[in-house]
């Protein structure tokens, strides 16, 4: 009897990892059945969608409230799926606001729970470690420093490495990519990554557009490439058409973030997975973020870190600048980006820091190692069911 697995992920990065994991699971055993909450990457890899996360993706501590009915409906669908056809394991991928509430309902039905791409418990409320200890039979972590935190907290944990090591592959060389879009391969190239969720893009992109205008004023031959997350509404990108200098136009690229980053001299990026992608492509970056004012005030009370950029957290020091909330202005972003474009010694120092980050992410094969760990637990669930 083949394993049946249920998966729950939200956000574009979670869907990317779910797709890679699903491909590895099916390579190991093509007869595995895997279904759940996911998106296009999960479905394309062979997962069956019980529900689609894209109507639920949001950032912030208060912005989720209008989506509460949608969250509850998704949870009901997933629990009903378990009741009709009991899986041998539940796989949670980040998305803690939803998954922390889903897992107890399914664990009570006797289903083992595996947390893959665990929430950033080290960044905020210590009580979240207690929650994970209660719901997870095993945690599979992608950053080495996370393993020690879970071990100390009495949670079974395994470091599998970062799946982006295998996934962050450009589709073309810099010369091919830029020339193919009418750009100059030798010109200073700035990547713009305003996030993957609608509320991120609406708050972040306008000031990155303003920064681009200022960069172009001081670096006249600079060119700008925007990595657009798939499936976002065109209206979110209207800011790209608002600039004083007609030459400061933007080339928009859909769904090829790795090639955008690999072709850039500097990236202006929202905090998140893209910062790790930039590190993998050796691209100096300016990390920015902005939340709704109320969410930011609440976050300041619970977040324990002095830095939010994942590359800085992995490095253990601030190797790239972070501009958050009121510090995030077009002038500040432009100043940092121009410095990286002109000061070659500074750019070299940043790249040395990024090399350290890459060395700490583990080797290739993370998704395969995660799949093997999941099937070991699911196999125990199968034997128990028999």
Domain ranges, ordered by start, for the chain? 4-163+365-385, 174-359
pLDDT value at residue 99: 94
Region 174-359: CATH code = 3.40.50.2000
Mean pLDDT in residue range 304-320: 85
Mean pLDDT in residue range 79-99: 93
Tell me the per-residue pLDDT of 323-335, one tens digit each, with 9 for 90 and over: 998 999 999 999 9
Instruction: Give the global pTM.
Output: 0.84
Task: Read off the pLDDT band of 124 (50, 70, 90).
Answer: low
pLDDT for 386 beyond 60: no
Q: Is 4-163+365-385 in CATH node 3.40.50.2000?
A: yes
Tell me the per-residue pLDDT of 35-53, one tens digit each, with 9 for 90 and over: 999 999 999 999 999 999 9
pLDDT value at residue 31: 96
pLDDT for 350 beyond 90: yes
pLDDT for 305 beyond 70: no
Task: Read off the pLDDT band of 57 (50, 70, 90).
Answer: low
- Tell which residue, 247, 208, 246, 203, has the closest CA to residue 227: 208
User: How far apart (Å, rounded) are the C-alpha atoms in residues 283 and 259?
Assistant: 11
Mean pLDDT in residue range 105-116: 95
């Amino acid at each position: 009897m083949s394993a049946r697995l249920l998966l729950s992920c939200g956000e574009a990065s979670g869907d990317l990892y779910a797709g890679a994991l699903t491909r590895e699971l099916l390579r190991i055993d093509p007869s595995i059945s895997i279904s759940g909450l996911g998106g296009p990457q999960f479905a394309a890899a062979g997962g069956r969608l019980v529900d689609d996360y894209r109507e639920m993706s949001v950032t912030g501590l208060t912005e989720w409230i209008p989506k509460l009915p949608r969250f509850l409906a998704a949870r009901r669908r997933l629990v009903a799926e378990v009741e009709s056809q009991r899986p041998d394991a539940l796989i949670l991928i980040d998305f803690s606001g939803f998954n922390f509430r889903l897992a107890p309902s399914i664990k009570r039905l006797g289903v083992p729970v595996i947390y893959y791409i665990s929430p950033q418990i080290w960044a905020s409320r210590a009580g979240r470690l207690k929650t994970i200890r209660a719901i997870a039979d095993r945690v599979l972590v992608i950053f080495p420093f996370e393993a020690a935190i879970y071990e100390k907290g009495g949670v079974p944990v395994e470091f599998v490495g970062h799946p982006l090591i295998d996934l962050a592959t450009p589709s073309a060389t810099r010369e091919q990519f830029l020339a193919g879009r009418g750009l100059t391969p030798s010109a200073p190239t700035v990547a713009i990554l305003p996030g993957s969720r609608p509320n991120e893009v609406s708050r972040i992109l306008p000031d990155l557009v303003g920064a681009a205008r200022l960069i172009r004023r001081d670096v006249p031959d600079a060119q700008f490439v925007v990595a657009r997350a798939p499936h976002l509404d065109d209206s979110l990108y209207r800011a790209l058409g608002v600039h004083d200098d007609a030459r400061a136009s933007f080339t928009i690229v859909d769904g090829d973030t790795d090639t955008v980053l690999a072709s850039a001299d500097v990236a202006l990026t929202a905090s998140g997975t893209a910062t790790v992608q930039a590190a993998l492509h050796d691209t100096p970056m300016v990390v920015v973020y902005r939340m709704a004012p109320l969410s930011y005030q609440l976050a300041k009370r619970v977040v324990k870190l002095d830095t939010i950029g994942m590359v800085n957290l992995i490095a253990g020091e601030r190797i790239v600048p972070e501009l958050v909330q009121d510090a995030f202005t077009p002038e500040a972003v432009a100043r940092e980006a121009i410095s990286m474009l002109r000061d070659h010694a500074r750019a070299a120092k940043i790249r040395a820091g990024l090399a350290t980050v890459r060395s700490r992410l583990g080797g290739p094969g993370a998704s395969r190692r995660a799949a093997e760990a999941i099937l070991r637990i699911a196999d125990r669930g199968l034997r128990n069911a028999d």
